[in-house]
Amino acid sequence: MSKETATNSITMNTEKCELVITRTFNAPRELVFKAWTEAEHLKHWWGPKGFTITVQEINVKPGGVWTYVMHGPDGVDYNNKIDFIEVVSPERLVYSHGDGKEEHFRVTVTFSDQGDKTELTMWMLFKSAEELDKAVKEYGAIEGAKSTLDRLEEELAKI
């Protein structure tokens, strides 16, 4: 049996201050949504390779919050806070992503049913072209997203 190689489609548009990443997973939409919204799964894949997280609180509903600490391989901890704006299970999540002090960017994730597969699109909207550029160049947003989605694919194979 051959294993399909996952590919990411990535579009960065500085005029619109957006970064869009699309990837198809060999898993049904309900399972991909579950892996994206439940702490027991998130702790295994959220973040780039080498990073781990500690979920402090997660309440996936409009007005709900997900707070977690991302632990870097260099020992640095990063506080994160996600404020859920829209939750349409298993189709779409819209949330504000920040550090608990300010929003860094807004995210819309769609889960498109492709039969036994799911096309996931993650659309990140930044406050300015400079913020987008900083996320890509200083924080490795594109490589980090690819790595994170690789880890999601690994988690989906286990559940």
Predicted pLDDT of residue 7: 72
- Count Cα neighbours of 1 within 13 Å in the Cβ-side half-sphere: 1
**CA 14 – CA 9 distance, rounded (Å):** 17
Q: What is the DSSP letter of 140?
A: -
| Residue 2 predicted with pLDDT over 70 | no
Predicted pLDDT of residue 6: 61
**CA 126 – CA 10 distance, rounded (Å):** 16
How does pLDDT run across 48-76, given as a tens digit for each residue? 999 999 999 999 999 999 999 999 999 99
In a domain, 5, yes or no: no
Structural domain count, the chain: 1
Residue 88: which CATH number?
3.30.530.20
65 closest CA partner among 43, 97, 34: 97
Tell me if the pTM is above 0.85.
yes
Q: Give the range of the structural domain holding residue 44, as residue numbers without chain letter.
A: 13-120+136-158
pLDDT confidence tier of residue 111, bands split at 50, 70 and 90: very high
